[in-house]
Structure 1
C-alpha cells in the first residue's frame, strides 16, 4: 500500500491533496505555512486536516520501519519465506504485524523451548494430529534423559502446544474481540493502605467494577493513578468458560486421549500466556484512548487559554498578593518592561493597609498606570477588596489574573535570563502583569503542561502530550502573529520555520542592529536562509514599517500582487489598505494564475481590509460577589458570578472567588443531553452559576450553569 492510500483510508481526504501536502511536508514546510499560504496545492485543507495527514504519515513511516526491521531479523534467522514476506509487507496494522512476528521472536528460555530441547516436539505434533488412541503409551517412547516419566513427556508436549495456541493469530484475535466487547475492569483496595490519608482521594475506587469499553477516560486514568500509587489492584476479566470454549471449538476435532491433552494445553495457554498478555494489551489500548481523550481536552483548554483576551500595550501595576510575606508590586511600561518594584504589607500580621493604599496611589500616578493586575492566589480577594477602595484620579481598570504556572516561570532559566538581578517574587509579579497585556506572549515561556488546565496531564503519555501541546502553541502563535521587534526568544521560537536557535539569532541581531525596518532585513540574520524566510516571514509583523504590508499577514511572495492591484485601481498600497469599498469591488479572477488561485487572492483582500487584525477579544473587567469570601459563605440556591478555570470531559470547574473551585458536572451544563462540554462552555468564560450543593467536609461545591 502506498502512503497516499494509507492516509486516504484513515482520512477520506482527496488523494491529490494528500500527495501535495506530503510533498510540502517533505520539503520542510510547516503546517501553519501550508494551511495559510499553500491552499491551492492542498485544495484548501485546514490545519486540522493537514495535522491528520502529518499524524498518519508518521504512523505509516513507523509501520514501514518496523516491517523492515522484522524482515531483516527473519532473514538473519533464515526463516523468511515468500509467503511470510508477502503477509508482512501487505499488513497495515501494527498489532497484526507483531502477531506475524511472534513465533520468531528471540525470547527468554520458555517452557516450550526447554521441551523442544528435550526432543518432545514430535510428541506434540502427534497429539495435535488427534490420531493416537493411546497417548500415554506413545509418550513412553520419549522417556529418556531429563524426561523421567510419560507424564513428564506429556507435560512438555503440552507446553509446546500451549505456545502454538498462543501464536495462533485467529485465536488471539478472537480473545481480543471478547476483551474489546465484554471485558470488565475491577479494582480491589490494598488493605494495608486503605486508611492512609493519601488513599482517601481514591476511596470511590476501592471496590469498583465497570465495562472496560465504556469507562470514561478520566475515571480510567484515576484508577490507574491509584494503582500506580499502590492503593488498589486492577484486574481485567472476561468470561473464561466462553473464551476457552471458543478455542476448543477451533482445535478439538476428536473425542480421545489426544483431545484431553489438547484441552489441558488450551487451559494452560489461556491462563499462562493468552489472557495475561492480551488483557494487558486491552488495558493499554484503553489507556491510549484515555490518553488521547485527556490530551484533546488539555489541547482545547490550552488553545483557549493562549488565545485569552489581551488588554494590549497598557501601563500595568501588577500585584502578586500574600499575607505574611506581603504583596509584591511591580510597575510595567506598555511594552512590559519592568520600571519599579517594592513590597507592601496590607494584610495580617502587619495590617498596614493605610500605607499600602498610599503606595499604590502614588505608584499609579508616578508611572501613569492604566490597569492593575492582581494574581488569583493566596490573599487575592483581600487584595482586590483593598484596591477597589482606592479613589484613583484616573479611570484605572482592575483585573484578577490567573497565576497558574507563574512560579514555574519565575524559577526558570528564561526568567533568570530576563531578570538576573531580581528574585523569584519580582519575576512572578512581572509575569502576572504581562499576562494581562498579552497572555500568549507570556504563557509560551512556561512548559504547557505546567499551566494546569486539563485532566490527569501527568498520567498520560508525556511524549504525545508534549507534541500535541507544542502543536497547539505553534498554531496559536502563528494565528495571532508576532511583533518582530518586541517578541521574546520563547515567542519567536514557535513561529513557523524559526525554532529556538534562529529565535536566539533574531534577538541577538535585534540587540546589535536595532529594530527591524522591514521583513527583508530578516535575511541578514545569521543562518536564517531562504526556506526559513519563506516559512516564517509572513507570521512576523513590523509596526510602522515603511512598507505597510510588513505589518500584515500578506506573504512577501505576494507583495507584487498587491502592488499590481493598487496600480490597476489607481491607488497607492497605503490607500488601498482598509478601503473596503474598492477591495470588495475587485474582480479577483483577473489576478489568478497557475501558482496563485482564488483562495490566496481572497485571503489577501480579507487581510487588506483589516491588516494585522488580532483574532482575540479585548480583555474585560470582572468582579466576584464581594460577600463570598470562604466556602462557608456559599449556600445552595445562590446565583454567583464566576470564571471557568478548567474544562474536562466530565464538566467544568468555575472560580467563584474563593479557594475552592466549584464543579458544573456535564449533566448540569444544560437541561438537555450534553455530549461535548466544549460546545456549552469554554475556558476563561465569564458565567453565572447556581449553587446546587456544598459539601463542607470534602470541600466540594456542585454548580449548575445559569442561562
Structure 2
C-alpha cells in the first residue's frame, strides 16, 4: 500500500490521506460516483475526476508491479538475476525503464549478433571495445575458421555484437529518446499513384508536410496516421543523424586507432538498424498515445454535455423522422415515452401531399393532446420543420429539431427489438427521436457512445481506452442526475452505481412481476441485490410519490436518521422540513457532526433538502434557424446567423446553421484573446450567433466566427 500511495503521490497533487482512504474504498468495491458523493470526509472532498485519476494511476502501478514479477521470475529461472539487477528492477517507476533493464537478458529471436556469437566472435568484439589493439586485422585473422572465411567477415560479425551492446545501453537509448522527444520532425510524402484518388483529396493538406513531432496537434497527427493507414501517404520520423552519431561516438570512442574505426562502423550500424527504427517507432507511438488521450478527452467532454442536454421532461410528444421518397415516419408518445400511435405521411417530393400531411399532424396533435413536436435533423429536416410551422394548432405546441446521431444504431439494436418487437426500424428510430427530446440521457444510454458522433477521429484512437472513458462519463452523468427506478429502462439502470447489467435485468424483471417499488427498502427484495449493491445504488435511485419523501431525493438512506432528528429538533414533521429553506439554513450543522458524518456531508444534505430531486439539467429551449438559408449557396460573407454547436474539437467547434454542411469556428475565431480551452467559450447544443467569414462551395467548407 505504501508504495502504491507514493506512486500516486508522484503523479498527482492530492493529499496522502485522501489517496489512502480512496484506495481503501475502491478496494471495498465502492464506485467512483458513490465515493465522490457520499464519502467526502474520507476523501477530503475529491470529485469524480480526481478519484478517476487515483483509479488510473492505481491501475498503472499494478500493471508495472505485475510486469516486474514476471521479469524477475524469468531472470531467476535463467539463473542470471543478480542482487544489483533485482534492486534496480524493484526500484523502477516506469515501464520503459523496466523494459530497458530487461532488454540485454531478453530471449532474442535469431539475430546477426547471435549468429556471430555462435561463430565464436564475442572475444573479438571485446578486444575491439577495449580499444587497445593497433593491428586489428591480425587479431581478426585468428577468428577465421568454420563459417568465417575472411577477416572482414570476422570483423563484421564482431561489429554486429558491438551494435547489439550499444543498442542495449540504457544511457544511449535515453539520449536518443530525449533527442526524439525534443527535436524529431514528422514528415509526409504522397504516394504518387494515389494522389488523384478521390478519397485521398480530404488528406491533400498532408501530401507534403513536415512538423515538429512534439508540437503537432492531436487532430493533425491522427489525420496523418489515418491517411497513411489508407495508403495515400508515407510517414517518416527524422532527427539530425550526424548530431546523434557524434554524441554516441563521444560516449564510446576514446582512442584513435583501428579499433575506433570498427566501433564507429558498429555505432552507425546500431543506430540505423536497431536504435533508430525501435525508438522512432516508440516516439511515434508515444505521440499517438498523447493524441489518443487528447481526442478521448474531447469526446468525453462532448459526450458529457450531450448526455446532460436539456430535457423537456414528461410531456406528450409527436416525433417525426423526416424523409422525401419514403415519407416522414410519425409517432405519438405519452408523457412517459410509451408509443401510442405511428404512421407515415408524404408531404415532400415525389408525392407532395402537404395538405394531407398538415391535416394528419393537426388531428394527431389534438387526439393525443401533444405538447411538443420533435423533428429529426437529417434528410428533409428543414422542409419538414417549415411545414410544421405553417400549421395553426389549437394549443400552444413547441417545435424542436433533434439530433438523429446514432438513432439508426439504436433502431436496429437488440434493445430496440426487445422494446418494440412488433415494429420496424423506422418506427423505432422515430420513437428514439421523440424520447431524446423528453430525456436525452435516458435515451442516449441505449446507444453505443462511439456512434453518437461528437468526437474527433474516434475510430482511430485506442478503442479500449475510449470505451473505458466513455463508460465512466455515462456512469457519472446517470448518477449525477439520478434515476427513477419505476420508469427507467434496463440500459439506464445498468449505469447506476453498484448495479450493472445483471442487477438491472433483475430490477426490471422484479418491477414487471411485482409492480412499482413503493420505497427504497423494497429494492432489497430484488434477487441477488445485497447490502453492498444497495449501499452503492440507493442514493441514486428515486421513487416518486413514496411514503417517505426522502426516497425521492439524493439523501442516502444511511442518513435518514439524521434528517429525522433535524425535523424533530425543529419541532416539525419531515415533510414540513423538506423544501423549507428558511428553517434549513438556520440549522446548526455542527450539532450533528460525529465520527461517521462531517460538515461536508451535512452541507450536501441541507442543499438537497432545499430542492429535493432537483434536475441539474436546464429545460430545453425552442430554437429557430434562419428560414431563408436552405443550402450552402445561400450563404455569403458577413452574414449573421443563428446556429447550434453540434461538435467540439481541440481546434474549434462545428456549428449547425440549418443546412447539410456544418460550419467551423476555428479556435482563433472564438475570441479576440487567446483560447486555451474551446469548452470555456462554447458548449455542445449551445444556441449561438455566428458570422460567416468564408464559404468554399467546391470543398463544402464554411468558416465562421463567434459573434458576441
TM-score by length of 2: 1.00
Q: Deviations over 1:124-168 (max 9, x none)?
A: 000000001111100011010001011110000000000000000
Tell me the equivalent position of 1:233.
234
SS at match of 1:432: helix
Q: Deviations over 1:574-619 (max 9, x none)?
A: 0000001110000000101001000011101110000001000000
Tell me the equivalent position of 1:387.
388
Tell me the equivalent position of 2:89.
88
State the distance in 2 between where 1:490 and 1:183 align.
46
- Please provide the CA RMSD for this pair: 0.5
State the distance in 1 between where 2:549 and 2:450 align.
38
Tell me the equivalent position of 1:471.
472
State the distance in 2 between where 1:126 and 1:554 align.
77
State the distance in 1 between where 2:676 and 2:587 align.
44
Tell me the equivalent position of 1:304.
305
- The alpha carbon displacement at 1:673 in A equals 1.3
Unaligned stretches of 5+ residues in structure 1: none
SS at match of 2:435: helix
Tell me the equivalent position of 1:77.
78
Written as runs of structure 1 = structure 2, the 5 A alignment for 1:14-93 is 14-93=15-94
SS at match of 1:623: coil
Written as runs of structure 1 = structure 2, the 5 A alignment for 1:157-306 is 157-306=158-307
Tell me the equivalent position of 1:319.
320
State the distance in 1 between where 2:327 and 2:521 align.
49
State the distance in 2 between where 1:44 and 1:218 align.
35
Tell me the equivalent position of 2:502.
501
Written as runs of structure 1 = structure 2, the 5 A alignment for 1:620-659 is 620-659=621-660
State the distance in 2 between where 1:485 and 1:636 align.
53
Q: Deviations over 1:377-407 (max 9, x none)?
A: 0000000000000000000000000000000
Tell me the equivalent position of 1:409.
410
SS at match of 1:2: helix
State the distance in 2 between where 1:104 and 1:444 align.
49
- The alpha carbon displacement at 1:305 in A equals 0.2
Are 2:601 and 1:600 aligned? yes
TM-score by length of 1: 1.00
State the distance in 2 between where 1:684 and 1:78 align.
63
State the distance in 1 between where 2:596 and 2:468 align.
32
Written as runs of structure 1 = structure 2, the 5 A alignment for 1:310-389 is 310-389=311-390
Tell me the equivalent position of 1:137.
138
State the distance in 2 between where 1:581 and 1:679 align.
35
Unaligned stretches of 5+ residues in structure 2: none
SS at match of 1:372: strand
State the distance in 2 between where 1:108 and 1:452 align.
44
- The alpha carbon displacement at 1:107 in A equals 2.0
SS at match of 2:396: coil
State the distance in 2 between where 1:568 and 1:676 align.
49
Q: Deviations over 1:42-63 (max 9, x none)?
A: 1111111111101100000010
SS at match of 1:374: strand
How many residues are matched? 707
State the distance in 2 between where 1:696 and 1:580 align.
58
Q: Deviations over 1:278-310 (max 9, x none)?
A: 000000000000000000000000000000000
Tell me the equivalent position of 2:432.
431
State the distance in 2 between where 1:529 and 1:246 align.
64
Written as runs of structure 1 = structure 2, the 5 A alignment for 1:570-581 is 570-581=571-582
- The alpha carbon displacement at 1:192 in A equals 1.2
Tell me the equivalent position of 1:492.
493
SS at match of 1:434: helix
State the distance in 1 between where 2:143 and 2:312 align.
86
